[in-house]
Amino acid sequence: MDTAELSRAVWLSKYCLSTEEGKSESRIGDTWRRVARAAACAESRPGDWAPRFEELLSGFRFLPGGRVLAGAGANRRVTLFNCFVAGRLDDSIDGILGALGETATTMQQGGGVGIDFSPLRPAGASTIRTGSTASGPVSFMALWDTLCATLLSTTARRGAMMGTLACDHPDIEAFVSAKHTPGVLRNFNLSVLASDEFMQAVTEDRPWQLNFPSRLLGSGGRAEQGAVTVSAQSIWRRVVESAHATAEPGMLFIDTINRENNLHYCETISATNPCGEVPLPPFGCCDLGSINLVKFVQYPFTEDCRLDLDGIRRTAALAVRFLDNVIDVSEFPLPAQASEARSTRRVGLGVTGLADALAMLGLRYSSEEGRQLAVAMLEAIRDEAYAASIELARTKGAFPRFDHQRYLASPFIGRLPKELRDDIAAYGIRNSHLLSIAPAGTISLLAGNVSGGIEPIYALEALRGIRDADGELHEHSVRDYAYNRWLAFSGGAHKLPESFETATELSAAAHLDMQARLQPLVDNAISKTINLPGDASVDDVAGIFAAAHAAGIKGCTVYREGASVGQVLRRRPERHCCNTDREAD
């Protein structure tokens, strides 16, 4: 399948506006115009901004999240936010079922959901009100899993949920091994909330106390029930053995997440969106979009090749305004989500196509030169995004929870250039957070199968499962964007440049190094999978998680070749890979 045919297949199945009479958009330019006009409705002069937003979208230079492309201007009651985090669960049947209903409402409108199950009492604990025995958080997760499968079984968009549990919850071992049984919790990604104290206890091989309520979340005034002391190493070993075997759970380094949060002064985070790139408070929402870096490579594969940083800066500035407008024009499944989004105005501007852009520039993903260019690119986006948000604050106002002194005390803000910090102090800022690097899986397919997010090239050629509008999964032959450009450039007669490195050719250190270098430049988080060969050991996985924590990475997921997860991509003729549930756009 050529890239134009692939792009059209993805557009028809996911983003082309449909009515009862059939497709109402004949080409992708119609979608760009619809989305641009919808975003411009938040402006006092929409006619001035709609053409600028349409130009931003055309040519695949900027790719909004899939919910924006599918829903903006469609005159449907749908949300334009890809993902949400549920409100804090109340440890009661009424609270659990109420939260389940809120999840149903959210998913019905197209949003994925992250849920922290740590507030639920462990299996076997007594319930004072009824005198019965609790069944534990994992049993209740099955309700969410069934709900997700029921609501989204016939749609082109796969249901996506993130389930988290604190590392000191008494049911942590049951949570870690929950997906070892085939078919169980298949609509969930799972992540352990790992504290600094836990990681230190593992390093020092110290005892570890399991508590309810979790110390990570605070007791809320209740007495602890059934505290049990175990070996930190025993919990750690269960986690890394499971990640080695099944690619789950991932690790969320929750103290790093909260310490680095720009809103540390008014919220506590214990969950993320389904792919992990946006840590969010209760009822938080993610408003995502990605700059497609391959569109800014000039003269690829030649001695004159270069990355157009000025063009990237201009795109970043306009993309921030676009994403900010999405907050005002979107529907919200729940009033609490609308309140949370409008009080913080979080957005997540990111990138996709990094690995393809490096290959087109003649730079290896694993090289220091490649990492340095990635850093320079993301610094440019960070600074332009913050400058654009400051300018929006001057004309439209700062986000309501903005507090000059406490916001400026955030570690991330402290790393900004002094000029930006001074401007924030003087004028405020429109958006509490501005940057996030998502997997960008489906929108990257839409753009011709560019490498997703900051991931390496997966394979030069692969078989890809794509769901049609009726939810059926069809397998398509796909070719990497940069590789396709190289074949056209060289006529296929020349040796493939060394800059074409694929995910499984890279060492784990090369994967981690790229994520670690870029995380300090991202105020939300980065979705990244560390690929490992099939013969990687459990100790290799343990080393990766430990190194990720030490490097200040907010979350880490590993995939060992051959691990028993769902398949969305596979090489020829080998079988692979990425869990379908990680597709969140």
Q: Which residues are catalytic?
A: 273, 275, 277
| Cα–Cα distance measured from residue 88 to residue 270, given in angstroms and rounded to the nearest whole number | 9
The residues with which 253 forms a beta bridge, in sequence order, are 194
Q: Which long-range CB contacts under 8 A does 567-574 form with residues at least 24 apart?
A: 567/465, 568/441, 568/464, 568/465, 569/458, 569/459, 569/462, 569/463, 569/464, 569/465, 570/462, 570/463, 571/459, 571/461, 571/462, 571/463, 572/461, 572/462, 572/463
- Which residues, including other chains, have CB under 8 Å from residue 375's CB and lie 6 or more apart? 517, 518, 521
| Cα–Cα distance measured from residue 415 to residue 418, given in angstroms and rounded to the nearest whole number | 9
Q: Give the chain's end-to-end CA distance (angstroms, integer).
A: 22
Q: How far is CA 351 from the centre of its chain?
A: 12
Among 581, 515, 564, CA closest to 544: 515
Find where tokens 């955030």 sit. Answer: 410
Q: Return the ∠ at Cα 93 (arms to 89 and 99), rounded to 5°.
A: 40
| Cα–Cα distance measured from residue 212 to residue 544, given in angstroms and rounded to the nearest whole number | 29
SS (H, E, C) 161-193: EEEEEECCCCCHHHHHCHHHCCCCCCCEEEEEE
User: Rg (Cα) of the chain, in Å, rounded?
Assistant: 23
SS (H, E, C) 356-403: HHHHHCCCCCCCHHHHHHHHHHHHHHHHHHHHHHHHHHHHHCCCCCCC
Dihedral sign from CA coordinates of 477, 479, 481, 485: negative
What φ, ψ does residue 457 adopt, rounded to 5°? -60, 130
Within 10 Å of residue 310's Cβ, how many Cβ atoms? 11
- Which residues, including other chains, have CB under 8 Å from residue 314's CB and lie 6 or more apart? none
Find where tokens 């986000």 sit. Answer: 399
The residues with which 502 forms a beta bridge, in sequence order, are 457
- Which residues, including other chains, have CB under 8 Å from residue 93's CB and lie 6 or more apart? none
| Cα–Cα distance measured from residue 176 to residue 286, given in angstroms and rounded to the nearest whole number | 26
